[in-house]
Amino acid sequence: EAQVTQNPRYLITVTGKKLTVTCSQNMNHEYMSWYRQDPGLGLRQIYYSMNVEVTDKGDVPEGYKVSRKEKRNFPLILESPSPNQTSLYFCASSIQGANYGYTFGSGTRLTVV
Amino acid sequence: DAKTTQPNSMESNEEEPVHLPCNHSTISGTDYIHWYRQLPSQGPEYVIHGLTSNVNNRMASLAIAEDRKSSTLILHRATLRDAAVYYCILKGAGGTSYGKLTFGQGTILTVHP
């Protein structure tokens, strides 16, 4: 089944403890992206990647890092999480180009205390 | 990024058609019109997209105005499972908006039994 898989689904952590949220897709998509969703602010793009070793900042990149060493994986790294990064995170992938839809993962609910 | 305007909420009865409007008066010639929906506690789900011509798929139809400044998502027979937030988004084909989905607040669709 074509899908985007995120792990974990739920995570509670403490301020400053480094964490990684994994994202993997099995559709050979070039384009991958991370979004966060917050009440009243909607979905905002954090980082995106057009292909292996090509990443760029989205609208809210502060406090996050990403890497794209393989086409299928696009992990989101929080080096020193803070409470304002408590949010619902979604990974998405797409074939390159505007004429293709995105496939989203099921989400990771992160709480930083 | 070109913006879209949607009503905050709409209501429908089960088994009736639903027409969800979207205005995008600043759309550029290369922007595709995408629609996604998000069910409670799930990631956004691709519904349909188009450029100039009307489009149909198994989920919905997309009617695009001749001047492309507005579009309408049509659910032919609403079911309770169609209750969701519907997002109309312009996906850029070039420049800084390449491949990016910028989500607005969307339309909350309520379906009554």
Chain B residues lying within 8 Å of A92, measured CB to CB: 43-44, 101
The partner residue sitting opposite A98, judged by closest CB among B42, B46, B93, is B93
Tell me what pLDDT residue B101 has. Answer: 78
- B106 in contact with A, Cβ within 8 Å: yes
Q: What is the mean pLDDT of residues B1-10?
A: 87
Is B95 buried (19+), middle (13-18) or exposed (0-12) by CB count in 10 A?
exposed
Percent pLDDT > 70 in chain B is 92
- A39 in contact with B at a CB cutoff of 8 Å? no
Which residues of chain A are within 8 Å of residue B101 when distances are taken between CB atoms?
33, 45, 92, 102
Residue A52's closest CA among A19, A79, A25?
A25
Question: Strand, helix or coil at B50?
Answer: strand
pLDDT at B97 over 60: no
- What per-residue confidence (pLDDT) applies to B99? 65
Per DSSP bridges, beta strands B55-56 and B45-50 are unpaired
How far is A35 from A82, CA to CA, in rounded Å? 17
Nearest Cα of chain A lies from the Cα of B16 at a distance, in angstroms, of 27
Helices and strands, counts by H and E, chain B: 0, 9
